Structure 1
């Protein structure tokens, strides 16, 4: 069907930008054409940032950007730029900081007004079409901004200058005054205990997770607590970590039919999710599920890993082997419609099993969410079987059959929109997750997904000069890779090597590390900028240190530096990793929920790193068995034959090519071992 309006976004590949290609708004993508137009016409720039799976982005589009009267105002007075935050996270970071500084909060959609030289002077998130929620309407906002820009230009430019300077100043991190040459005295076990205590103070002891609604998975906090238990046997840490995982698995945030997890829960009980499914969330959750399985041996974690990766393979994997970004929260313009059920549907589809299924999953005629039903387990199936006096195995089999029936029917519904762009960093996170899942479960499908994906990335996300690129779609790769991309990619290569024994993955990681140091380092060689020196279309280069929905790129860089320093015996890399941690001083301890990935690195510094080498003809088999164990503070290499350039493997082969396990820690090596149980015993000691 012919569209009434088509703007410049029609030439883009981003699903989010294409969603706005037929708005009456004269949208530009971020680029020289739009920026030059603003200067020539002396107009303020409206930058509107969102992503394809964002529910409120859809709402604002429908209410305002599809309205011709509103579009006329925007087109007359502004140069309008649409940005996909997932394609250009660098721009999103800068302008999100500006809005948070101005308003005290942020989120998406993000709408920011800039001077023609791209400096922000006003902004906010969602603006309604009429006054509501104590917010000005979008039209009122547009008129007010235009009037201020026209009549109070000096004030606008002064505000823009002051705001930009504030963001620049906030981007500076001071080095701790503590001496950095006494590393062994800086990191202490008491610090780890205090981090755990501070995390547990914000923990929901009944429903799991941390803080109040809305609840996000906070996988790094859970990971820290799992590892804290491993090192200290602190039962409270383990209890809260497993409670959080279990309640998410039981909750509506977990897709009980198709596998995978939604972005977050809008309530404290994990019942009602914001239904979008993001690749990175599922990657990070698979990673902690793998650790929970290694630590406890409970099959429910292995089963959830399998179902989650089956969802990723079925719905988020391209024919070429790349992983797509997300599934929308909406279908047919309604949030969650694809996933929810009426009692009548359940009765019709399940017949005699409907009553049993409804009781277990909390389904009723009035509904448990907006007059409809989300599948949700208030208690585990095991507990419910006892309460109902039903054989547990029988109940599980009946429920499995019911889920299969409902899943088959759900497949006939109109599906949520797919964001099919492929992002380097998020794919790397999923590679790491697949490797950790393979290590824990031994399921070869996990490893196949990881290996196929790294081949895809190596083939499609590098340019002719050897630069890695951020995004790929329709055989087009674009935008220079950001720090997160490089950091997560190095981490992925590290994990690939641990589960395959292929040393070329470590050489690839080393090459990326040296490039990142050259192109992303800050002035004093401590932290790393989010953008490389090669990128020029941004008003400032930010340094991100907070862990958010994904770990801080700087935190993962510290991990990469620490790991690769020990692999390649590069002391300067180790010193830099230590300097990064020390530079954050006590904020990691005081605010662990914002620095929980960093807190995990703190654990490494305190507990020490176990350097494990396995050599000989059965090295890969033995390494695979070692990987099934929970050894979070390790680096491991395995090789059948000697490999040049790998210090950890040097001198560890014998003429008979017998298989031996070598353990070194704290600059001391143990005697060679042949039996894995002996290694585990040494590690416990």
Structure 2
């Protein structure tokens, strides 16, 4: 049996390279094999940090009898959803249409033409809770294929046709101030007033929605908007979702009270939350938000930075096959590390109880109150962190994903400027260098790399957009024009390759010359990270303020058209349009542009501290950048030029005048 996954750049595929299952990577040859043998394709999609993916692998894919059934009756394809989000999107849509829900591991059965006819998620090795065993499912699929092949193929073709209709572009609908106000009212109705966040369990960090609400508060003064953000940020930072010892956020909470996390830590979550807590620290000057932002930035640099300069995708939920093993504590373990007095103090502070809040009498660490002795708090955390470092550690998916690294570049560069931490800015620059020098091949962006080897998967829209957005922020933070030039190149490619020519303002998630799937994915909703289209709208709007006049109007118009395609989504489901709404808030503000000519750290610091979210801030010598062109010093002094969209104030030379203009 060929080990076709042995040379993969995906750690998830490598985890399955030694299975007795005859896995294929996603490739035309696999479907040709299925057509030649006249057997269905079994498509299994997951990712390296997925707990239930590991469980199903251990129960089924490592089992020789199950593998024998799979090999005899199917062509088996294993896909890393993070490496091929386009494949994942197509079959997730089919899974949700068939079952009403989706998730990973995803298990789909396809015709040799790639058309899905049965989809699901995790299947147990024995019947359980009304679910068939995986072997029973395989037998049923084989029987249906052999006995009713024409019927199965016909139903699959009809499903694909239906999915194509239901993934068409949304109609144009403006996102004006009434829609923004309505989104806040809707979110207020969904807000969990007791626990923070939205909805019930499982509860995910609503990063992009929080950013929208901050921007809405800045524009309107809405007390409700800020109260939702602060209550949610406080609950997340004080709960088990946040690593109270080393910083960084887990993927989600399995309960509505943020007590027990699903322990995997994802790059995209932490990049987005770094941005939220940095913005909150800037707005409120809260020491808690400052601490959480700083610790999250340090988590990125310490635990996710790769040797090549990028950022790894995730840390696993499991350690040695046990979820949370690295992170949970008992009162006795605290005492063993800290002694009786500090152990009891830490147990009370962190909510570690004899009964436990997790499993088998263990507890996650929460911060139930602000410590009254911060030096003692830091000493306790340092000793517990050192002890935890001697435990087995979760695995790391060190695959570098372009889009998520773009989010990290954005957050680190913004935080570096506000907190005056040059090391963070250097890290953002290293990641940008890696992506620009390694991931751009023959003028086109590749999605992933690992150990300095670029992968084969073509970049999707979110890769182009999130990287462009990050480079634009890096340009503002450093003044280096090369970042602006590369971002413009990425945006021009995105406008040319991903636009829906039949629907102005709409975009596909794959390029016009990408591999043809059973339908071309185009999902405008913001989920765990910004949709490709909303990220593109954000980058286009920012670029419109930074480029010369020849491109500025083109980019702004493209951003406005893209936002108009998300109007219905923003009005009807604002929890899945957070990034769109943030872009719309920036549009409503102009966006704000602050051009500082001359060397004035005080003017720059005031702009960074007081400008609203989505503002464009650039400092440098006169005429050193398009935004600084025709903006001279004033009476030989450094000056700040503030514009809101197309309307500009007179230049100011004092911090007081600049703060007044930004207010």
Q: Could you say which TM-score interval applies, normalised by the shorter chain?
A: over 0.9
Distance in 2 (CA, whole Å) between partners of 1:655 and 1:565 is 25
Task: Call closer, same or farther: CA 1:492–1:620 in 2, change over 3 Å.
Answer: farther
Deviations 1:41-88 (A, max 9, x none): 111000100001000000001111111111111000000000000010
Q: Which residue of 1 aligns with 2:453?
A: 476
Kept in 1, the 8 Å contact 2:592–2:611? The answer is no
Structure 1 equivalent of residue 305 of structure 2: 317
Partner of 2:609: 628
Pair 1:446 & 2:435 matched: no
4+ residue segments displaced more than 4 Å? 654-657
Out of 487, 510, 514, the residue aligned to residue 535 of structure 1 is: 514
Q: Render the CA deviation track for 1:622-666: whole Å, top value 9, x for unaligned.
A: 32442133421422222214236x1x3221124975311111225
Instruction: Indicate conservation of the 8 Å contact 2:244/2:367, yes or no.
Output: no
1:160 aligns with 2:156: yes
The structure-2 alpha-carbon separation of the partners of 1:102 and 1:607, relative to structure 1 and needing over 3 Å to count, comes to same
Which ranges in structure 2 are unaligned for 5 or more consecutive residues?
A: none
Partner of 1:142: 138
State the match for 2:370 in structure 1: 381
State which drifts further: 436-445 or 111-120: 436-445
Deviation at 1:6, TM superposition (A): 7.3
Structure 2 residue 584 is matched with structure 1 residue 613: no
User: Would you say the 8 A contact 2:583–2:614 is kept in 1?
Assistant: no
Per the alignment, residue 375 of structure 2 pairs with: 397
1:95 to 88, 91, 102: 91
1:585 aligns with 2:574: no
Query: Which position in structure 1 is the counterpart of 2:178?
Result: 190
State the partner residue of 1:370: 359
> CA distance change for structure 1 residues 657 and 472 in 2, over 3 Å: closer, same or farther?
farther
Distance 2:634 2:333 in 1: 69
Q: Which residue of 1 aligns with 2:295?
A: 307
What is residue 182 of structure 1 aligned with on the other side? none
Cα distance in 1 between the residues matched to 2:2 and 2:326:
29
CA distance in 1, matches of 2:280, 2:158: 48
Shift of 1:93: 0.2
Partners of 1:354 and 1:297 in 2: how far apart? 32
Q: Provide Cα deviations, 1:340-374, integer angstroms capped at 9, x if missing partner.
A: 11222111111131111111111122212112333
> How many Å separate the matches in 1 of 2:395 and 2:273?
22
**SS across alignment from 1:516:** helix
Q: 1:311 to 1:583 in 2, by over 3 A?
A: closer
| Structure 1 position 80 matched with structure 2 position 76 | yes
Is the 1:203–1:211 contact (alpha carbons within 8 Å) kept by the matching residues of 2? yes
How many Å separate the matches in 2 of 1:187 and 1:310?
Answer: 37
Aligned residue number for residue 579 of structure 2? 597
Q: Quick one: which of 571, 576, 579 aligns to 2:553? A: 571
Residue 399 of structure 1: CA displacement?
A: 2.3
Question: What is the alpha-carbon distance in structure 2 between the residues aligned to residue 376 and residue 630 of structure 1?
Answer: 36
Of 397, 405, 408 in structure 1, the residue corresponding to residue 386 of structure 2 is 408
DSSP-derived class of the 1:39 partner: helix
Aligned partners of 2:425, 2:282: CA distance in 1, in Å? 17
| Secondary structure in structure 2 of the residue aligned to 1:123 | strand
Q: What secondary structure sits across from 1:136 in the alignment? A: coil
Aligned to 2:334: 346
- Counterpart of 2:27? 31
Q: TM-score, normalised by structure 2?
A: 0.96
Count of aligned residue pairs for this structure pair = 657
Deviations 1:459-485 (A, max 9, x none): 22121x121111111332121111000
Residues in 1 aligned to 2:302 and 2:247: alpha-carbon distance in whole angstroms: 10
Counterpart CA distance in 2 for 1:481 and 1:187 is: 29
Q: CA deviation at 1:566?
A: 3.4
Q: For structure 1, list consecutive stretches of 5 or more residues without a partner in the other structure.
A: 179-185, 383-391
Q: TM-score, normalised by structure 1?
A: 0.93
Structure 1, residues 384-423: CA drift from partner, whole Å, max 9, x if none? xxxxxxxx2xx22222211111111111111111101111
Does 527-536 or 268-277 show the bigger shift?
527-536
Partner of 1:15: 11
Q: Give the alignment of 1:116-131 within 5 angstroms.
A: 116-131=112-127
Per the alignment, residue 270 of structure 1 pairs with: 258
Change (3 A) 1:611 1:312: closer
- 1:418-456 per-residue CA deviation (whole Å, 9 max, x = no partner) reads 101111111110000101212321122221111121112
Match of 2:620 in 1: 639
Partner SS for 1:112: strand
Deviation at 1:246, TM superposition (A): 0.9
Which residue in 1 is equivalent to 2:322? 334
Asked if the contact 1:422/1:473 (under 8 Å) is kept, the reply is yes
1:679 aligns with 2:658: yes
Q: Which moved more, 1:250-259 or 1:373-382?
A: 373-382
CA contact (8 A) 2:602 2:655 kept: no
Please list, as runs of the form range in 1=range in 2, the aligned pairs for 1:282-301 lying within 5 A after superposition.
Answer: 282-301=270-289
Distance 1:321 1:666 in 2: 36
Deviates more, 1:600-609 or 1:192-201: 600-609
Aligned CA distance change for structure 1 residues 533 and 620 (closer, same or farther; 3 Å)? farther
Distance in 1 (alpha carbons) for counterparts of 2:170 and 2:296: 41
Aligned partners of 2:634 and 2:653 also within 8 Å: no
Counterpart CA distance in 2 for 1:188 and 1:116 is 47
Aligned counterparts of 1:599 and 1:116: Cα–Cα separation in 2: 41
Taking the aligned partners of 1:116 and 1:619, their CA distance within structure 2 comes to 64
How many angstroms apart in 2 are the aligned matches of 1:456 and 1:625? Answer: 32
Residue in structure 1 matched with residue 641 of structure 2 by the alignment:
662
SS in 1 for 2:576: coil
Is the 1:295–1:630 Cα contact (8 Å) retained in structure 2? no
Q: Do residues 467 (structure 1) and 444 (structure 2) align?
A: yes
